[in-house]
Chains A and B, each alone.
Chain A
Amino acid sequence: MSKKVTYAGENSTSFQTKVLVKSIFIYIALILLTLVCLLPIWILVVNATRTHAQIIDGVSLIPSANFFKNLNTLKTNDLYTQFFHPIRGMFNSLIIAGSCCALTVFFSGLTAYGLVVYDFKAKGPMFSFILAVMMVPSQVTAVGFMKMLVSLDLLDSYIPLILPSIAAPAIVFFMRQYMLSSFPLDIIEAARIDGSNEFRTFLTISIPMMKPAFAVQAIFAFIQKWNDYYNQSLVLVSGKTNQLTVPMMVQKVLAIDRNPDFGANYAAITLSIIPVVIIYLILSKFIIGGVAAGGVKE
């Protein structure tokens, strides 16, 4: 993009005014869209710093100073303490999303490596299978999954949330594409000659070389599992407080129908959003690059 391109008539004044008018128009539109994106979040954060009475009084865009008061309500009011423990929830979410992320990335890398590096009979059919199941939505398998969990007595356990992430067809697909395009197979041959066994070659040579792809997929896997309300609510049926994850806690806060404290509600939702937004802002470069590379929609 940085390449200097000269267009016919670029230096004429009429062309320049046209471009200027267009730029101004585009900027106005972009600023409006930015507002649409940020304003809801801003109102949320502002209301999290206001008390129930202030919120009922009217809408404001200026933060007040009662955030910690609202936090205190969250910590002391029975209405919230029966299921809302932000630290506990984040810890649970972190365990689930973290282990899912590690398993997904490692085993997807391993599978992709197996499919790219070795020649074996079932390779073609295996890859076709992965392509075919890439788009099967989890909602479709949920009924059978539920029945299986009931019969194996695996409900209310983190195992059925974490273990399935070993098999992530979409991520295997993208890792395979990445390996095919930018992984020199000669290096494996060299490692073999030097006496490295296959598994060690994967661990010490392939993974470090594949770091960019691993990093992007890890970020996406983490975000996706952190946000995955569907499977979590499916498996953790009895909703024990010490097992709840962040999205489940937020859902429970939303379901309060008798006299909620608005300030505390807003604070609870804000608490669930803030960590994600911070991590996003830090990693945004990778995330947007990853979307552009096409590795997002599962």
Chain B
Amino acid sequence: MATSAQKRIKSVSYAKYGYIFTAPFFIVYFIFMLWPLIQTFILAFYGNGSPTKVSTPTTIDDFMGFANFKTILFGARSTSFKEIAINEEFVLCFKNTVLIWVGNFIPQICLSLLLAVWFTDLRVKMPGKGFFKVVMYMPNIITAASVAGLFLSLFGDSEYSVANMLLMEWGILEENFKFISTDISSRILVMFIQVWMWFGNTMIMLMSGIQGINESLFEAAEIDGANSRQTFWKVTFPLLKSIMVYTLLTSMIGGLQMFDIPYMLHTGFTLNDYIKTVAVFIYEKFHKDYMSPSYGYSAAASVILFVITAILGALVFYVQRDKDAIEIQKKRKAAMKEYKRKMARGGGLGL
């Protein structure tokens, strides 16, 4: 351990390298991420359409106040047909996002937890564990576009998709079922794809959580005669709670960003309304015609998304915070205060 005097010397002579080494990160972050984020916040208060197009009622240079937020969130109360349509679209997208997220997260966490417990069970000897892990994580690394293509060809609307051909061959269906253009089936399909892609990842994260639990606790439970169900509910589950909450929250943030699959799971050029998420809404609004886009609505939706993410992110930190470290910090601060007060008093006496 260096003494405080040594530390001071070190910090005096080398501090500038700290700035030099971290500078590229911060410069690039400010240009490519923070500035666009600020721009997004500004754009949320401005109009839609480009300044050169006269036909649009508002342009990107018109300050609109909270009008965009109002339209998106409460447009249904207005009389303008366009505002009602945008509000309906956003509400539908939000509903889709929540529905698909809930529908994929619950089965995913149950399945992953079950698998993680099986894989870490000491009593069941399991050759080939590595193989199963590799296979179950594999869907996660395949490009989402290819996954969408894969499931489009398996569950497409046409009578030549694999599912339709099998179901018709077995006599279950008379004619082809439109899996993609039916609301319920397309949502279930997206949920299934999300589970398919992410359960391996969640499983491995939970496994490392379980392996982090002190092994002697399981042994103690074993010696006390607990069966596997009791061990799970009384030992594993309570100790895994914080990592599960972490998984839940990061998965919620990830779910809000869900884009690739909902955007690509359709045939032809029209997007599938039943699985359109908020991220797709944002993308579509400014990207469809990027020379005269609806930046305002898109940015307002982004701000709403940002606020939700920020709340969830704050919860993550609240859950993950190191309680002991905070306690030590508090004590250190109190000691510092005490020391300063003493110094000040001492100084006063000196005068």
What residues of chain B have their CB less than 8 Å away from a CB belonging to chain A? 7, 10-11, 14-22, 24-26, 28-29, 32-43, 115, 118, 122-126, 132-139, 141-146, 148-154, 160, 162, 165-166, 169, 196, 200-201, 204-205, 207-208, 211, 215, 219, 222-223, 225, 228, 250, 253-254, 256-257, 259-260, 264, 267-269, 279, 282-283, 286-287, 290, 293, 295, 298-299, 302-303, 305-306, 309, 312-313, 316-317
Bound: A138/B166 CA distance, A:
40
* Nearest CB on A from B126, distance (A): 7
Across-interface contacts of A233 in B (CB, < 8 A): 287
Chain A: residues with Cβ within 8 Å of the partner, total of 105
Across-interface contacts of A123 in B (CB, < 8 A): 18
Q: Which of B28, B204, B269 contacts A288 (CB 8 A)?
A: B204
* Nearest CB on A from B137, distance (A): 6
Tell me the number of A-to-B contacts counted with CB atoms below 8 Å: 310
Q: Say whether A118 contacts B124, CB under 8 Å.
A: no
Across-interface contacts of A136 in B (CB, < 8 A): 33, 37, 306, 309
Q: Say whether B36 contacts A145, CB under 8 Å.
A: yes
Across-interface contacts of B309 in A (CB, < 8 A): 135-137, 140
Question: Residue A66 at the B interface, CB < 8 A?
Answer: no
Q: Say whether A255 contacts B269, CB under 8 Å.
A: yes
Across-interface contacts of A134 in B (CB, < 8 A): 313
* Nearest CB on B from A15, distance (A): 9
* Nearest CB on A from B189, distance (A): 12
* Nearest CB on A from B200, distance (A): 8
Main SS at interface, chain B:
helix
Q: Say whether B124 contacts A288, CB under 8 Å.
A: no
Q: Say whether B160 contacts A287, CB under 8 Å.
A: no
Q: Say whether A163 contacts B118, CB under 8 Å.
A: no
* Nearest CB on A from B320, distance (A): 10
Across-interface contacts of B290 in A (CB, < 8 A): 146, 150, 155, 237
What residues of chain A have their CB less than 8 Å away from a CB belonging to chain B? 1, 3, 5, 7-8, 19, 22-23, 26, 30, 33-34, 36-38, 40-41, 43-44, 47, 55-56, 58-59, 107-108, 110-111, 113-115, 117-123, 126, 131-148, 150, 155, 160, 163-164, 166-167, 169, 172, 198, 202, 223, 226-227, 229-230, 233-234, 237, 246-248, 250-251, 253-255, 257, 262, 265-266, 268-269, 272-273, 276-277, 280-281, 284, 287-288, 291-294, 296-297
Can you list 15 contacts pairing A with B, beta carbon distance less than 8 Å? A8-B225, A19-B124, A26-B118, A59-B162, A107-B24, A118-B21, A143-B40, A147-B295, A167-B26, A198-B21, A227-B142, A234-B287, A294-B208, A296-B205, A297-B201
Q: Say whether B162 contacts A126, CB under 8 Å.
A: no
Q: Say whether B40 contacts A122, CB under 8 Å.
A: no
* Nearest CB on A from B25, distance (A): 4
Q: Say whether B25 contacts A254, CB under 8 Å.
A: no
* Nearest CB on B from A111, distance (A): 4
Bound: A108/B24 CA distance, A:
10
B123's nearest neighbour on chain A, judged by CB, is A19
Contacts A37-B136, A136-B37, A148-B35 given; indicate if A120 touches B15 (C-beta within 8 A): yes
* Nearest CB on B from A49, distance (A): 14
Q: Say whether A140 contacts B302, CB under 8 Å.
A: yes
Q: Which of A23, A131, A166 contacts B24 (CB 8 A)?
A: A166
Across-interface contacts of B225 in A (CB, < 8 A): 8
Bound: A215/B122 CA distance, A:
31
Q: Say whether B150 contacts A41, CB under 8 Å.
A: yes
Q: Which of B40, B141, B165, B267 contacts A144 (CB 8 A)?
A: B40
A41's nearest neighbour on chain B, judged by CB, is B150
Bound: A298/B171 CA distance, A:
46
Across-interface contacts of B25 in A (CB, < 8 A): 107-108, 110-111, 166-167, 172
Q: Say whether A247 contacts B144, CB under 8 Å.
A: yes
| Chain A to chain B: the 9 pairs with minimum beta-carbon distance, closest first | A114-B21, A144-B39, A118-B18, A144-B36, A257-B268, A120-B18, A167-B29, A144-B40, A164-B32
Q: Which of A108, A126, A139, A296 contacts B305 (CB 8 A)?
A: A139
Q: Which of A133, A138, A146 contacts B286 (CB 8 A)?
A: A146
Across-interface contacts of B317 in A (CB, < 8 A): 131
Q: Say whether A163 contacts B28, CB under 8 Å.
A: yes
Bound: A120/B13 CA distance, A:
10
Across-interface contacts of B125 in A (CB, < 8 A): 23
Across-interface contacts of B259 in A (CB, < 8 A): 139, 230
Q: Which of B11, B124, B143, B302 contacts A139 (CB 8 A)?
A: B302
Across-interface contacts of A43 in B (CB, < 8 A): 154, 162
Across-interface contacts of B160 in A (CB, < 8 A): 55-56, 262
Contacts A111-B25, A145-B32 given; indicate if A44 touches B150 (C-beta within 8 A): yes
Across-interface contacts of B256 in A (CB, < 8 A): 137, 139
Across-interface contacts of A198 in B (CB, < 8 A): 14, 17, 21
Q: Say whether A7 contacts B222, CB under 8 Å.
A: yes
Across-interface contacts of B200 in A (CB, < 8 A): 37
